[in-house]
Amino acid sequence: MAVAVQPASNAATADLEAAWDVCADLFCTLPRPLAPAPQDLEDELLFCLLGGYGVTFEHGRSACQRLAQLRPFTSRLNDQALEQQLRAELDKPQFEPRRRNGSLRRYRYPARKAELVVRARTWLRPRPRLLSELTSLLSEQDRRRVLCGCPGIGEKTASWLLRNLGLAHELAIVDIHLVRALREAGRIGSISLPRDYDLVEAAFIDWCRDIGAPPAAFDLFVWEWQRGSLFPER
């Protein structure tokens, strides 16, 4: 079982919270997505399926830009032909950012992700009103549960997708960046994902409450902070 521990005061967490105080206004006033359209749902579903779990944000974005041109969720190709087409595109060394020597990178999981996109299409096809269904649900947790029925979508990816659509503001995107920050802050002990997802999310929401931070804004801030993209020289 995961063991929650008392928040600890340490330099890393003190620096993070101090930086949040400086950046809070910026992150809290970032433009929110407008009312999403069905095409937005498909675009974000593709992006989230291609990202995460060993794929950097930049590589996932690059792969999504490539596959979006194929319109996989509306393609008339049969499953086998579509999967072959997607895999062939993902197999090409064309993903950013480039290596230090300038050479192009390859996407890490071409076969696995091509299969998932095809399976997601199968799940999506009989749900033409999925976006309306999601927006009609008042609970963000209920919205997440619906999306978790899609192949390749777990709680983290569903939370990410809903956040990108502007349909979730109180859910945590529990990835390695958030887990590392929570451990440094002494707010979680030993955990196992996805089993302890709810426990980690609750610890994060408690942290947000303690410092008066909106969860969606603070989640994004922690992600940027842990990646080193806010203050690269620190």
Name which of 25-34, 135-144, 147-156 the model is least confident about.
25-34
Q: Rounded to whole angstroms, how far apart are CA atoms 221 and 215?
A: 10
* Three-class SS state of 172: coil
pLDDT score at 1:
36
Quote the percentage of the chain above a pLDDT of 70: 94
Residue 133 has pLDDT above 80, yes or no: yes
The predicted pLDDT at position 232 comes to 55
Q: Per-residue pLDDT tens for 200-218?
A: 999 999 999 999 999 999 9
Task: Give DSSP secondary structure letters for 20-31.
Answer: HHHHHHHHHTSP
The DSSP 8-state label assigned to residue 233 in this structure reads T
For residue 70, the model assigns a pLDDT of 95
pLDDT (average), residues 54-61: 87
Judged against a pLDDT cut of 50, whether residue 233 lies above it is answered with: yes
Separation of alpha carbons 13 and 31, rounded Å: 27
**Does 130 have pLDDT greater than 80?**
yes
How sure is the predictor about 192, in pLDDT bands with cuts at 50, 70 and 90?
A: very high
Residue-level pLDDT at 4 = 45
Q: What is the mean pLDDT of residues 57-68?
A: 91
Report pLDDT for 3.
40
Mean pLDDT of all residues in 86-112? 85
229 vs 178: which has the higher pLDDT: 178
CATH of domain 38-154: 1.10.340.30
| pLDDT tens, residue by residue, 15-50 | 999 999 999 999 999 887 778 999 999 999 999 999
- Give me the helices (H) in the chain, please: 11-28, 38-50, 57-68, 79-91, 110-124, 130-136, 140-147, 155-165, 176-184, 197-211, 215-227
pLDDT score of 5: 45
User: Where do the structural domains in the chain lie, given as residue ranges?
Assistant: 11-31+172-227, 38-154
Mean pLDDT computed over every residue of the chain: 90
CA distance 207 to 188: 11
Mean pLDDT, to the nearest integer, of 176-189? 94
